[in-house]
Each structure stands twice: as C-alpha cells, then as structure tokens.
Chains A and B, each alone.
Chain A
C-alpha cells in the first residue's frame, strides 16, 4: 500500500511540474531544423489535402497520436477524460500513462478507463519495461482488458529511473521479457522511450519482435529534468540534456526496424509532423503541449491544439505539393549539417530519397 500511495503521489507531482515548470531540453534540439522536405513541383489547395492514414489496422483521420501521460489518481481522471473526448472527435489514437498504479490498486482502474467517454477511440495501454519484468502476462492482460485497450506501449525509461530517488534501476532481462510478452500477449506491442530516444542498435534488437517503436527522442520534455524538480538531485542537472535527438533517433530506428516507427519527443508544429512523416514515421505524437492545452482549456484546449497542428500540416503539404500521406512518404529530403555528419558517424546509409 505504501508503494501505491507513493506511485499516486508521484503522478500528481509529475503533472504539476510539467504544467508549471520549464521541463524542456536546454541545449539539445530535435534536429528537425536540419531536415528539409523538397517540393514536388505541384501546386495544391489546402482543401485538396487528405491526411488520413492507418494504424493498428484501422483508418485514422490524421498521422497523429496523443502519447500516454497519466492515470492512477482520482485527480487525473479529468485529464484522461478530456484527452479521450478530444481524441474521439479528432479520430486519432491516444495512450494512457503507466498502468502500474491500477495493477497495484485495482480501485484506480477507473482513472484509465476512458472508452466510456469516447467509445470509438484507439486506446493504447501502458506499462514500464522494469515493471514488466515483475508482472505476469495475465496481470497485464487483465489490466488491458479492464480498459479495453487496443494495444500496449511498453515504456523504457532507464534515464528517468536512474535519477529518480525511488527508481527501478535494474533492467536485467528486460529485453527478453519484452520479446516474450509481445509474443504471448495477443495485442500489438509498441516499445517506447520517454524522451531519450531509441538508437539503431536497440531498434535492430526489436526488429520483428514488436509491432512498432515510438522513438520519443531528445529535444522536447526531459523526464530526467522533471525528476530534478522532484528530488533536487545533482544527477538531474548533469543529465538534463542526455539522449538522442528525435530526428536522428527516427532515422536510426527506420534504418534498423522494419515495422512502424512513430516519431515523438519535441514535436510541436505541423512542420515537425510533416518532416517526421516524410522521413518515414507512420505517426507523429505529442504529450506535453497537449497536457498544457488541457490544463488551460480542458477538452476544447486539446481539440484546438491538435486541430491547429492538422491545419499546419495540410498547409505545408499544399505548399510543397503533396496531396496525401502516401505521396509525402515518397518526398525527396534534404539533410543539412550537422545532422548529415552525425548520420555518417553513426554509419547510417541513406536511400536515394535523401539529397
């Protein structure tokens, strides 16, 4: 019970910090500023642009998703509810935060159970890799069934855990456990980082083992930084900018993983989404700006924020002459320095789409 209370308290602290403090990377950026999508030569009107795509075998209205953030405390039900209502209206998938709290205390399940507010949304459950080692498949199956999740994100966060006073700092066997779980669970598994990115080495390990990777790279919110606000630990400051920038992580992951790769971590504008999709991401996602929007204006805030991103994406696609997502994924891309050099250092071979 002490663990449960601690988990609940931590959830609230995280929300308070993300909505009130500067939790963004300070020196590292996403490196999307060094990616340029080349025009197709066509001229299009924004009304001609179709941004529909597919995820988890279903058509979705835009290549976007709202990343899992919270759950596990009565006060955060409102956040998940507002996001679900907006995601339902927008026709895009959403995730919930780690379901550890509802596994530890079943009475908290209602804080994740958002399909009652938006019946048709694609809902992604969530569990930490370091918790997965400790739980049985049936425990997690039960937690997913309780909220009627369509898929599960297994988040891996060694960076955050290593600076968290009560962190899980043993990941021994996590890789084997994730692979075994993905094979057994009967639902698509998405491996996601929480802001430090996925390298080509890790992407390669999970090739054909999980349904998708969500790179959640560096350049957006730093969970190591968030832990600094909670614990005042020196490590938080030293490792604030630790990670693989999102654009680099996305290109690395796509070079080594043949399933869907999702781009997140510092996605803030329609042009970030455009670049992510053109580079090869299936979807682009965000969390912190959605949380801020919900904090200010509830479900309407979330809806308006995502609608604005969609609008920016359509404008950019019209300007560059791509009428749909399939065309955008074939776009020529210009990479600039220093990203180009970093990719060379990392031994990433680029296709002929890159100029």
Chain B
C-alpha cells in the first residue's frame, strides 16, 4: 500500500473531550527507553530541565542523557507536533524526528502534540494511536 502523505491525513475532531489539555500524557516506552514526547531531535544534544524526556538522534542512535540506544525503528522527519502525531498514528514502527530544534521550539512541538491529544480525547499515546482519522 503506498505511503499516505501527512498532509492528506486528518484527525477526526472530538468536540467534547472528557479531559483537560494538561491530562495528555505524552510518554511512550520503547524497550528500555521512555520518551516524553516520542519525538526525536536531530541536533547536537543539549541539557535542559524543560526538555527532560526528549531524546536526540545522531543519525544512528538515540541519545537520552548519558545513555545511547540503538534505533530499532524507522524515522520520518516532521515540522511540528501535528505532523508528529500523524506519524505516531499512521506509521507502524516509526518515530517522528524534528531537525535542529531549539529548546523553545521543542516545548512548542510538545504542546502541539498535547493539543492533538486533547482535540482527539486521547489521554495517552496509546489512545492517540487509535484516534479516528480520515484521508482526504
């Protein structure tokens, strides 16, 4: 089946979510690693309390804090949190990656992912992966 372009994928809006935006839990476990959010950053790793949980991607490995892990998944580059949500929802065994993001940008992208979760009534990434979509 041909890969569907991200711009053609639309989440089905859930008009009355039974949650607060802050209830959206963006953590996802992959083997030994807990990513929060499950979006990799293709940039030189930097330390920040605000971006704790984020992981970096050096082209081969996932780097989180002092640890490095083999990437056993596919990747797809994205521009924002909405595209990242689409990758998580529609691509199997694939992690979204953003290029050269600053700390401020990472916080924005994480908030965008949370907005998608809020607007689809998804409290976890597991629920987001089941959120209804349509292809247009």
Contact = CB atoms under 8 A, between A and B. Distances in A.
Interface of A: 27-28, 129, 156, 158-159, 162-163, 169-175, 178, 191, 193, 196-199, 201-202, 205, 218, 234-235, 238-239, 242-245, 248, 338, 341-342, 345-346
A156 B134 CA distance: 22
B13 A346 contact: no
Given A345-B135, A346-B134, A171 B19 contact: yes
Interface string B102-121: 00000010011001001100
Contacts of A205: 16
Nearest to B104: A234
A169 B13 contact: no
B53 interface: no
Is chain A's binding surface mostly helix, strand, loop or mixed?
Answer: mixed
Given A159-B119, A342-B136, A239 B82 contact: yes
Contact of A175 (B16, B81, B135, B136): B16
B1 interface: no
B72 interface: no
Contacts of B94: none
B38 to A, nearest CB: 18
B12 A171 contact: no
Given A199-B132, A238-B82, A172 B19 contact: yes
Interface residues of B, number: 28
B18 A171 contact: yes
Interface centre among A196, A238, A341 (most CB of B within 10 A): A238
B13 A243 contact: yes
A104 B19 CA distance: 25
Contact of A162 (B7, B108, B115, B134): B115
A345 B12 CA distance: 12
A172 B18 contact: yes
B108 A129 contact: no
Contacts of A171: 16-20
Contacts of B22: 169-170
A244 B14 CA distance: 10
A234 B14 CA distance: 21
Contact of B20 (A129, A169, A242, A243): A169
B43 interface: no
Given A170-B20, A238-B81, A201 B14 contact: yes
Nearest to B20: A170
A163 B115 contact: yes
A244 B15 CA distance: 10
B132 A238 contact: no
Given A156-B15, A169-B21, A201 B119 contact: no
B24 to A, nearest CB: 10
A197 B20 contact: no
Given A170-B21, A235-B112, A345-B134, A196 B15 contact: yes
22 contacts: A28-B136, A159-B119, A162-B118, A169-B20, A169-B118, A170-B22, A171-B17, A171-B18, A171-B20, A178-B16, A191-B15, A196-B13, A199-B13, A201-B12, A202-B14, A218-B13, A234-B80, A235-B112, A238-B82, A244-B12, A341-B135, A342-B134
Nearest to B80: A238
A27 B10 CA distance: 12
Contacts of B132: 199, 201, 346
Contacts of A235: 108, 111-112, 115
B102 to A, nearest CB: 12
Contacts of B136: 28, 245, 338, 342
Interface string B68-103: 000000000000111000000000000000000000
B114 to A, nearest CB: 8
A239 B11 CA distance: 11
Contacts of A345: 134-135
A158 B82 contact: no
